[in-house]
Structure 1
Amino acid sequence: MTARTALIYSPDCGSYCYGTDHPFKVQRYKLAYELIHAYGLTCLPDVSVCRCGTITDEQLLTFHSHDYLARLKEFSAAEESRADFRFGLGDTENPIFKGVYDWACMGTAGTLEGARLIVEEGYKAAFNLAGGWHHAHRSKASGFSYLNDAAVAINYLLAQGKRVVYLDLDAHHGDGVQEAFYENDQVLTISLHQSGIYFFPGTGFEEEIGTGAGTGYTVNVPLLEHTDDAIYMKAFDEVAFPLIAAFDPDVLVTQMGADTFRTDPLTKLEITTHAYSYIVKKLKALQIPWLAVGGGGYDNMNVARAWTIVWAVMNGKDLAPSLPGPFVEMIRQMGFPHRMLLDAMHWAEDDDRNRALDAVERTIAKVRKSIFPVIIGPYGQTSGK
């Protein structure tokens, strides 16, 4: 059987707007898709490009509350501005705009469709560019996220009898997904993120390890400012990778946020495509059915580059280092420079880098003590299957 892959993308993703002053720009999806297409990665023999599809209330209710969905629908249809801070709706972070419910459903439906393609049609990998809304809670919007696509898709996978690893590589902690499965031993959640000490959402510390049956199945690796490629890869290699391999899931779900990059205006990590590519290639080597979703990233050109890397690796293709000519012309007409800088902005002083390295080594030691005995048995055997 061929290793079929699905890229999930709808041009309709660009039909909505959070506001001209909001840091989240829907333009990222068109940029990512057009760069993937320019590299010839949409017309490979075993590649399908799929629309996001639709989603039902019943499917959304596997995670979200009825009251929250009703209010989100009501506000989405209203002609005037609305707000209800009990549900996190209508503030500067999570604005209400016409069709916001349809917008949120589109991304969630895309992730659910990716999960379905893997389970029901035998696809080896699927990537929903418009997914990754990991801050949405059961009854509250948060962090630009209105519906939690990963939680809904993972609940579908659980209903199909699948065990899941959820790996979150966004610079912000995946708090909404952690909340969804904090008591569940069939989902191993792992989040590598900038420390929440002074950073949104203020969660994701080493001591958050799950509760009840889920104790030991929540893993957090908070990273200090100025964590660079070498430190980031160390965290992945010494925590995430061995846990994923030991848990041996039926499906790997990854949130591929690109706001870890050095140029990102909202974060203070120092990651480049070197570490990003390294991790994506190691995930591919696991040969686990793989559902990837987008996520954060506020340097839109580098989001496009990052997600093109993900799709290329999923399909076993190498990318030429120079951007394709048609893409360069397109972005020039849009007002972007044709060179995308990954090594600009904030650099780490030696003292800052040493603090970040010391911190990650302490975190690794804590996780090995609290998590590894649960997931990895005394002889290296999984405690799950």
Structure 2
Amino acid sequence: MPSKDRIAYFYDGDVGNVYFGPNHPMKPHRLCMTHHLVLSYDLHKKMEIYRPHKAYPVELAQFHSADYIDFLHRVTPDAINLFELELSRYNLGEDCPVFDNLFEFCQIYAGGTLDAARRLNNQLCDIAINWAGGLHHAKKCQASGFCYINDLVLGILELLKYHARVLYIDIDVHHGDGVEEAFYFTDRVMTVSFHKYGDKFFPGTGDVKDIGEQEGKYYAINVPLKDGIDDASFTKLFKAIIAKVVETYLPGVIVLQCGADSLAGDRLGCFNLSIEGHAECVRFVKSFNLPLLVTGGGGYTKENVARCWTVETGVLLDTELQNGIPNNEYINYFAPDYSLKIQSRNMENLNSRTYLSTIKMQVFESLRCIQHAPGVQMQEVPPDFYLPDFDEDEQNPDERVDQHIQDKQIQRDDEYYDGDNDVDHNNEHL
């Protein structure tokens, strides 16, 4: 088993307390459920646990436009009628609603991914986990698909300060369009997305023919799949493609987005993966022994998301977990069988062997066009991004650095967030 300090895990209880709205499928509460399940299996004793800093606006503006960041900072549910033009311009509304503490929510999940990248850059850990991150649809100037800030792009930009080549892998059922778009013209990031593809399935992008442009040509890889793909088909294809990608591209670090909406029975998904099949992808990526940043992503059947990311935390720790879920604050969600694993369903796999073979051949053809690993000469490593010092006396008292930021990355033996004041939503409709 890896030593405790080689795995860094980021969590802030406040991230699970925001509420997108009564009929919205995104439930950040799943993050509290995941964390308590991780605790119930004693996995926290095998990792270093950190509360992430809240990303500063200037950090978020490393990718996003300053005016969009400023808007997210200012907009509130109470004052929504003052922002009609901006709501339209920045794509906030039904899918991406304005809710209480929206900006703080973004700061926390983005801060976790930034902190994870920095710890990897400084070789303070081998694997960094931020289940709150992975919001892969957000664009430079727009929210999209329940995502406001693209923490993955920010984390990858951070990793590029120390690594010539970053490999991004996405197993969410939805195409990782925001990350692909951000790096579509560069060979320094290879994006590989396995996703459901079709005109009527969000976001409608990710054709196998979309391979990048200019310097980035052949460095975007899309694996479009059809409904009902099962463990055997998915993991066979995943391993073949990722093995060839790593061999060809020789990345210095990997970012793995583990969206759990590719599991069987997801509210918005249409794949048929068991947790074991999903986790097998994580196990395979870990086997390359490269620095690894792991995030969450989609996942809309909350109890299955918590199960999945707990199992995958175990995989990253080389720890087998018992199937019977130990008692924890959210145990009632896992009734009636209280078991960790979920099986595939009796669902037709519309991905024929011929179809999958054709997709694999097209991907391999793209990879053959990369004759050698890209010749990126690391000249001078850019300086680390320094956070500005704030003078509290000059700040608006309502915007002063709060206790979380003062406490950032202070780790104590008892800091396992047992008292997060989580609301018990046992009766909440899924």
> Is 1:85 aligned to residue 88 of structure 2?
yes
1:207-229 deviation digits (Å, cap 9, x = unpaired): 11111101111000011011111
CA distance, structure 2, for counterparts of residue 276 and residue 301 of structure 1:
15
Superposition pairs for residues 356-367 of structure 1, below 5 Å? 356-367=352-363
Q: Which one of 270, 274, 279 corresponds to residue 272 of structure 1?
A: 274
Match of 1:187 in 2: 189
1:94-142 deviation digits (Å, cap 9, x = unpaired): 0001221111111011000000111124210010011010000000100
| Percentage identity across paired residues of the two chains | 33
Shift of 1:370: 2.2
Match of 2:299 in 1: 297
CA distance, structure 1, for counterparts of residue 239 and residue 91 of structure 2:
36
Match of 2:6 in 1: 4
Are the equivalent residues in 2 in contact too, given 1:136–1:142 (CA < 8 A)?
yes
Match of 1:59 in 2: 59
Question: Could you say what secondary structure the match of 1:259 adopts?
Answer: helix
Question: Could you say what secondary structure the match of 2:261 adopts?
Answer: coil
Amino acid at match of 1:250: G
Larger CA deviation: 363-372 vs 294-303? 363-372
Are the equivalent residues in 1 in contact too, given 2:253–2:292 (CA < 8 A)?
yes
Match of 2:283 in 1: 281
CA distance, structure 2, for counterparts of residue 134 and residue 354 of structure 1:
26
Shift of 1:55: 1.5
Amino acid at match of 1:365: M
Match of 2:331 in 1: 331
Match of 2:368 in 1: 372
1:212-260 deviation digits (Å, cap 9, x = unpaired): 1011110000110111111111220221232023322111101010111
Runs of at least 5 residues in structure 2 that lack an aligned partner in the other structure: 377-430
1:313-370 deviation digits (Å, cap 9, x = unpaired): 111111112212x13x7422x68543467336x5333xxx254433222211111112
CA distance, structure 2, for counterparts of residue 77 and residue 172 of structure 1:
28
Q: 1:78 to 1:7 in 2, by over 3 A?
A: same
Match of 2:68 in 1: 68
Match of 1:131 in 2: 133
CA distance, structure 1, for counterparts of residue 114 and residue 177 of structure 2:
20
Shift of 1:146: 0.2
Match of 1:21 in 2: 23
Are the equivalent residues in 1 in contact too, given 2:19–2:28 (CA < 8 A)?
yes
Q: TM-score, normalised by structure 2?
A: 0.81
Larger CA deviation: 224-233 vs 66-75? 66-75
Amino acid at match of 2:343: D
CA distance, structure 1, for counterparts of residue 363 and residue 271 of structure 2:
21
Are the equivalent residues in 2 in contact too, given 1:233–1:279 (CA < 8 A)?
yes
Shift of 1:275: 1.5
User: Which has the greater radius of gyration?
Assistant: 2
Question: Could you say what secondary structure the match of 1:114 adopts?
Answer: helix
Q: TM-score, normalised by structure 1?
A: 0.91
Are the equivalent residues in 2 in contact too, given 1:226–1:356 (CA < 8 A)?
no
Superposition pairs for residues 150-189 of structure 1, below 5 Å? 150-189=152-191
CA distance, structure 1, for counterparts of residue 52 and residue 190 of structure 2:
26
Amino acid at match of 2:213: T
| Structural RMSD (CA) | 2.0
1:255-293 deviation digits (Å, cap 9, x = unpaired): 010111111021111111221122111111100010001
CA distance, structure 2, for counterparts of residue 119 and residue 248 of structure 1:
17
Match of 2:346 in 1: 347
Are the equivalent residues in 2 in contact too, given 1:131–1:294 (CA < 8 A)?
yes
Match of 2:257 in 1: 255
> Is 1:217 aligned to residue 213 of structure 2?
no
Match of 1:320 in 2: 322
Q: 1:78 to 1:356 in 2, by over 3 A?
A: farther
How many residues are aligned here?
370
Q: 1:235 to 1:384 in 2, by over 3 A?
A: farther
Q: 1:356 to 1:226 in 2, by over 3 A?
A: farther
Are the equivalent residues in 2 in contact too, given 1:301–1:340 (CA < 8 A)?
no
Amino acid at match of 2:369: P
Question: Could you say what secondary structure the match of 1:152 adopts?
Answer: helix
Runs of at least 5 residues in structure 1 that lack an aligned partner in the other structure: none
Amino acid at match of 1:86: R
Larger CA deviation: 181-190 vs 270-279? 270-279
Are the equivalent residues in 2 in contact too, given 1:170–1:259 (CA < 8 A)?
yes
Q: 1:384 to 1:284 in 2, by over 3 A?
A: farther
Are the equivalent residues in 2 in contact too, given 1:170–1:296 (CA < 8 A)?
yes
CA distance, structure 1, for counterparts of residue 350 and residue 134 of structure 2:
31
1:282-312 deviation digits (Å, cap 9, x = unpaired): 1111000100011011111111111112211
CA distance, structure 1, for counterparts of residue 155 and residue 61 of structure 2:
12
Q: 1:212 to 1:125 in 2, by over 3 A?
A: same
CA distance, structure 2, for counterparts of residue 250 and residue 77 of structure 1:
43
CA distance, structure 2, for counterparts of residue 354 and residue 24 of structure 1:
27
Q: 1:96 to 1:135 in 2, by over 3 A?
A: same
Are the equivalent residues in 2 in contact too, given 1:216–1:370 (CA < 8 A)?
yes
Are the equivalent residues in 1 in contact too, given 2:31–2:131 (CA < 8 A)?
yes
CA distance, structure 2, for counterparts of residue 210 and residue 304 of structure 1:
34
Deviation beyond 6 Å, 4+ runs, structure 1: none
